[in-house]
Structure 1
Amino acid sequence: MSRNKTFDIDKAIENAMEVFWEKGYEGTSMQDLVDALGLSRSSIYETFGSKKDLYLVALDRYEDQSNDCLGSILYEKGPAKELLIRFFNKVIEHNMPKSCFMVNATLEMTAHPDVSGRAQSTTAKNERAFYQLLTRALTNGEIKGNPNLRALSQYLVNVKYGISVSAVTSDRQTLDNIVSMSLNFLR
């Protein structure tokens, strides 16, 4: 008969996420995880499977938290420019000073289909969120001209990822300038 787990699985995932986010997948040893989670190797393996399985669970947790923190802003009612400024301010706050865990994972683990698939799914969700906001903004006369909203949505995803990376080394004024220039298509 197996013993009941006597630790907080959510807390363990949070701790693993922090270690992977800081050190990357390759830079994280099992001993790092044992130390951070306060669990034995066997407990980690029994609960999560392999190191990579735990990494994927941590990446999924990060994505869920990012969606809760960021994604909902784009679906709120209000002027598009205000919503986008709030969204990008949250991106900056969320990623200073260590960049985006999903972007880091994508760069480090691009050859792994399970990681690149998650990154593609995240990109698609972001594009959909921007697209619906831009569609409303176009209808409300908040957008200059008649741009390709799909391409503009892809552009804003790229801005998000660029800000996530730039947040590591740039000062706040530089990041605010990037946001301001990126939103010039709005009235």
Structure 2
Amino acid sequence: MGRTRGFDEATVLHTVRDQFWDTGYEGTSTYDLMDATGLGKGSIYKAFGNKRELYLRIFADYCDDIVGQVQQAVGSRQVDGPDATSGSPLRRLEQYVVSLANAFAAESPHRGCFLSKATADLAGADEAVAERARDAFDRIAGILGAAICDAQRANEIDPAADPRTLGYLLLSVIRGIDCIAKAGVDPSTLSDTARAAITLLPRPTT
């Protein structure tokens, strides 16, 4: 009968993710992970593999989490009662993009999104990271594109527009806001930019 682990795996993975998030892959040593988690090197390797395997594990988990958050925020849903705002697909998109801009602006320190950080740090050199990042971006853009389709059916966006392209357009705006927020750009500028991105989506011509 195997020995029960003397630690909570979810807590350890969360701690490891924050360590990589704060100091990056190259800036994080195995000894840093040992200090952060309180585990020995052998325990870390036995439970999670080497440093790269552990990084890929927490990055994949993070990507799944963020995709789920986007789905929850802008995915299609039925709204009962007087909540017309939530019932508007375009309004859902605006609320989501503006809320992210506000969240990025309010961070202290500004560390942004781990998906953006991992992509910038490693995707150019590590195909496994690049593949996971591409998959996450495709899924997020797909969810945004589905919300665009909902807005087209609601006659809020030009039905001739390509939902996938507009989904990637909004994704690019979000990633850009994430980046410039780290430089301390004024919060009102970030939220105004988010609203402008929604305003610029093509409206029906008739």
Q: Is TM (by shorter chain) over 0.5? A: yes
Alignment deviations for residues 57-95 of structure 1 (CA, whole Å, 9 cap, x no partner):
111222233233333212143212321122124433554
TM superposition score normalised by structure 1:
0.91
Q: Which residue of 2 aligns with 1:174?
A: 189
Q: Which residue of 2 aligns with 1:107?
A: 120
TM superposition score normalised by structure 2:
0.83
Q: Which residue of 2 aligns with 1:8?
A: 8
Unmatched segments (≥5 aa) in structure 2: 78-86
1:88 to 90, 97, 107: 97
CA distance in 2, matches of 1:125, 1:135: 15
CA distance in 2, matches of 1:13, 1:177: 36
Root-mean-square deviation (CA, aligned residues, Å) is: 1.9
Match runs of 1:23-102 below 5 Å:
23-77=23-77, 78-92=87-101, 95=104, 96=107, 97-102=110-115
CA distance in 2, matches of 1:171, 1:38: 39
Unmatched segments (≥5 aa) in structure 1: none
1:123 equivalenced with 2:137 (yes/no): yes
CA distance in 1, matches of 2:103, 2:40: 31
8 Å contact 1:106–1:119 — kept in the other structure? yes
Alignment deviations for residues 135-160 of structure 1 (CA, whole Å, 9 cap, x no partner):
11111110157323222111111112
* Residues 52, 128 of structure 1: alpha-carbon distance in 2 compared, 3 angstrom cutoff: same
Q: Which residue of 1 aligns with 2:84?
A: none
